[in-house]
Chains A and B, each alone.
Chain A
Amino acid sequence: MSEEPRKARIATASLAGCFGCHMAILDIDERLIDLMKLVDVDRSPLTDIKRFTRRCDIGIIEGGCCNEENVHVLQEFRRNCDVLVAIGQCAIMGGLPAMRNAIMHSDDPLRECLEEAYITGAYLRNTTHNVPNDPALPLILDKVYSCAEVVEIDHQIPGCAPEGDVIYDTLIKLLAGKFRGFERETIRFD
């Protein structure tokens, strides 16, 4: 096969995250230009492409699964990507949204959680006194799941958010098939 090596295709998504990890991807700064020589970006908020146009080599997931739509997107990424990378603490272990998991020990925890968030909480100003329930809102899950609980995850890039350097190095190595884990000095959970 003497074809020109095709450019790799990557896709990204933000599930239950703060978009900080996507901001961190932009922290790659001018090396984005080098990266773009190696890859095309398919489905991603960065390109505003909403559906996979083709199968991708690498999928990058920010955020964990808080609602059914997160699960749906994550499963689509798993179906359409060869390698799936969870980026940031939310994708890896649920992150801040998963704080609700630790307080949900009652008999009807989900209802209690929603009521505290929207109705009974001490610092609320919700004049409707209702839990939002628009049909367009995806159903919330019983708890926040990390990505690896829902689909198989190939690699995790820890951090909140990971540094642009770490993201760049990891992607470059993954694209070259040379990723063998992180330098210990570069690992951060914050």
Chain B
Amino acid sequence: MSDAAFTFTIDGVTITAEPGQSIMDAADAAGIYIPRLCDHEGLRHQGGCRVCTIKANGRSAAACTQPAAPDLVVENESEHINAMRRNLVEMLFHEGNHLCPICEASGNCELQAMAYRLGMTEPTKFPYLEPCRAVDASHPDIALDTNRCISCGRCIRASQDVDGKGIFGYVGRGIHRRVAVNGPDLAHTDAEVTDHAMSAEVCPVGCIIRKRVGFSTPIGEREFDGGLIGQDIERKRSQGKGQ
């Protein structure tokens, strides 16, 4: 394969990509938002949440890990795909305990924002699994409520690759797979509130909680009070058009 840039289409829009870019990388650069939860800027792609599922030449793939290729025809925002994404987001809501009204991440939560974007308002058919996982409040500055964890693994990658600490890891298998800490509890790890892994942007939900700062942003000024998740990426395209 040559090093030359090439083009492909997403929902009929022709975009340019560099060799080695994933479909999502190329879409982001072009101002087309592909919904995602486990993927986060600056961290390795994981391809676990599957919310970024697209159809590439008719075949399902995760946009975050699927390489862009010349002349690929990608379907992103179709009703069928968004219905599947809605199912996936709803699965994550029902796998844990997500009570938005009492969660301090509400308004800044990517899971919640994704539900808004995908229009998750119909009566659900999914059962609630209602787990009862222990809350780890041992650390002086950080608390973990894994009942709200969506297994995106962003904290694992941030701690491993950015902080160089490896505080988090997956344990268990299947529905019992969860994020755990490298020690008996968080207080017995090297975790610090200044770690990238503990920052508000890495945990997409209200699982990693920084103590004493909860609910400090008034309703109306929180991250997703101002508009849909992904609009920052989409704005790039509308601005590009305007020029």
Contact = CB atoms under 8 A, between A and B. Distances in A.
Given A96-B101, A189-B106, A153 B116 contact: no
Nearest to A90: B101
A170 to B, nearest CB: 11
B117 interface: yes
Interface stretch (A6-14, A100-108, A121-129): A100-108
A187 interface: yes
Given A189-B112, A189-B115, A190-B106, A95 B124 contact: no
A182 interface: yes
A131 interface: no
Interface stretch (B51-59, B127-135, B150-158, B233-241): B127-135
Nearest to A100: B130
A185 B227 contact: yes
A174 interface: no
B174 interface: no
Nearest to B117: A184
B101 A160 contact: yes
Given A101-B130, A102-B132, A189-B112, A182 B121 contact: yes
A64 B102 CA distance: 16
B31 interface: no
A131 B8 CA distance: 67
B100 A189 contact: yes
Contacts of B147: 102
Contacts of A189: 100-101, 106, 112, 115-116
A187 B119 contact: yes
Nearest to B102: A96
B123 interface: yes
A59 interface: no
Classify chain B: how many residues form its interface, as a range. Answer: 20 to 34
A156 interface: yes
Given A184-B116, A190-B107, A89 B101 contact: yes
A148 interface: yes
Interface string A61-105: 000000000000000000000000010010011111011011101
B97 interface: yes
Nearest to A101: B130
A95 to B, nearest CB: 6
A187 B121 contact: yes
Contacts of B115: 187, 189
B90 to A, nearest CB: 11
B129 to A, nearest CB: 9
Interface in A135-159: 146, 148, 153, 156, 158
Interface string B92-109: 000001011111001100
Contact of A148 (B100, B124, B128, B219): B124
Contacts of A184: 116-117, 119, 228
A103 B133 CA distance: 9
B122 interface: yes
A188 interface: yes
A148 B122 CA distance: 10
Contacts of A99: 97, 99
B101 A95 contact: yes
Given A105-B132, A188-B116, A190-B106, A156 B100 contact: no
Of B101, B122, B219, most A-chain CB atoms within 10 Å:
B101
B83 to A, nearest CB: 13
Contact of B97 (A86, A102, A105, A158): A102
Given A102-B132, A184-B116, A190 B101 contact: yes
14 contacts: A89-B100, A94-B128, A102-B132, A105-B132, A153-B123, A160-B101, A181-B121, A184-B116, A184-B117, A184-B119, A184-B228, A187-B120, A187-B121, A190-B106
Interface of B: 97, 99-103, 106-107, 112, 115-117, 119-124, 128, 130-132, 147, 219, 227-228
Closest CB pairs A-B (n = 6): A189-B100, A160-B101, A148-B123, A102-B130, A190-B106, A187-B116
